[in-house]
Structure 1
Amino acid sequence: MITARRLAALALPLAVGIAAPALAFAASGEQLFMDNCSACHQPTGKGVKGAFPALAGSPFVQGDPKIVMTTVLNGRAGMPSFKDDLTDPDLAAILTYVRSAWGNKASPIKPADVAAARAAANAAAKARGLQAH
Structure 2
Amino acid sequence: MIRMRTLALAFAGLALGASGAAAADGRQLFLDNCSACHQVTGKGIPGAFPALAGSKVALGPAPAAASIVLNGKGGMPAFRDDLSDADIAAVLSYVRTAWGNKAPPLTAALVNPVRRTGKRENPKAALTAH
TM-score range relative to shorter protein: 0.7 to 0.9
Q: Which of 96, 104, 112 is 1:107 aligned to?
A: 104
* Structure 2 counterpart of 1:108, one-letter code: P
The DSSP-based 3-state class of the residue aligned with 1:89 is: helix
1:9-45 CA distances to partner (integer Å, 9 max, x unpaired)?
Answer: xxxxxxxxxxxx999x976100010000000000000
Residue of structure 1 aligned with 2:40, choices 17, 39, 43: 43
- SS of alignment partner, residue 115 of structure 1: helix
Larger Rg: 1
C-alpha RMSD of matched pairs (Å): 2.2
Aligned: 1:31 with 2:28: yes
Q: After TM superposition, where is structure 1 displaced by more than 6 Å over at least 4 residues in a row?
A: none
Q: 2-side partners of 1:72 and 1:81: how far apart?
A: 6
- Write out aligned runs for 1:85-124 (5 A): 85-121=82-118
* Higher RCO structure, 1 or 2 (CA under 8 Å, sep 6+): 2
Alignment identity in percent?
57
Report the CA distance between 1:72 and its aligned residue: 0.7
In 1, Cα distance between the equivalents of 2:57 and 2:70?
A: 15
Quote how far apart the aligned CAs of 1:120 are.
1.5
Paired positions, count:
102
